[in-house]
Amino acid sequence: MQTRKIVEFEISELLGIGMTLVILGIGVAYGLQIMGETRDDVGVSACAKNVAYPAKNLYNETSKLCYNSTGGTVAPATTEWKASTSSIEGVAKIPEKLPTIATVIVASVIIGILVTYLWGRFANA
């Protein structure tokens, strides 16, 4: 006489994975906003250090360049500026990968369900 093991899954078990993806997206969005504001703060100080007459140089948040009263522009060139710009570019790549991460998670869950179902169905056969 064969006994069959009943295997059950509930969608509510996937809630944790979904919430993790949502929290990751929100965290990255706010993190990028804060990093952008920090870059602009660094830009202001970088422009002040950038040329011979720092009092006449201002940072333009739209163009991300230093400009002076004569109309000349130059990119901020401090190490802090380069580091803040590079870090923003690096972190901004995370949201690009979220669809791939979600697809891998969904595929893993489906494979797990199939393996568990087939294991329960054919292990005692």
User: Helix (H, G, I), strand (E, B), or coil: what is residue 104?
Assistant: helix
- Asked if residue 81 is part of any domain, the answer here is yes
Q: Please give the residue range of the domain that contains residue 112.
A: 11-122
Find all residues with CB under 8 Å of 99, minimum gap 6, and list them: none
The predicted pLDDT at position 35 comes to 92
- Asked if residue 1 is part of any domain, the answer here is no
Per the CB < 8 A criterion, the answer to whether 22 and 30 are in contact is no
Whether this model's pTM surpasses 0.85: no
pLDDT digits (tens, 9 = 90+) for 64-123: 888 877 777 888 878 888 899 899 999 989 888 888 988 988 888 888 878 877 776 666
> Looking at the 3D structure of the chain, how many domains does it have?
1
- Asked if residue 52 is part of any domain, the answer here is yes
User: Helix (H, G, I), strand (E, B), or coil: what is residue 26?
Assistant: helix
- Asked if residue 2 is part of any domain, the answer here is no
DSSP-derived letter for residue 60 is E
**Which letter, b or e, does each residue of 43-74 get, where b requires 16 or more Cβ atoms within 10 Å of its Cβ?**
beebbbebeeeeeebebeeeeebbbbeeeeee
The predicted pLDDT at position 99 comes to 87
- Under the banding of pLDDT at 50, 70 and 90, the label for residue 51 is low
The predicted pLDDT at position 86 comes to 92
- Asked if residue 72 is part of any domain, the answer here is yes
- Asked if residue 5 is part of any domain, the answer here is no
- Asked if residue 3 is part of any domain, the answer here is no
Give the Cα separation of 92 and 41 in Å (integer).
19
Q: Is the pLDDT of residue 52 over 60?
A: no
- Asked if residue 63 is part of any domain, the answer here is yes
Average pLDDT over residues 42-53: 76
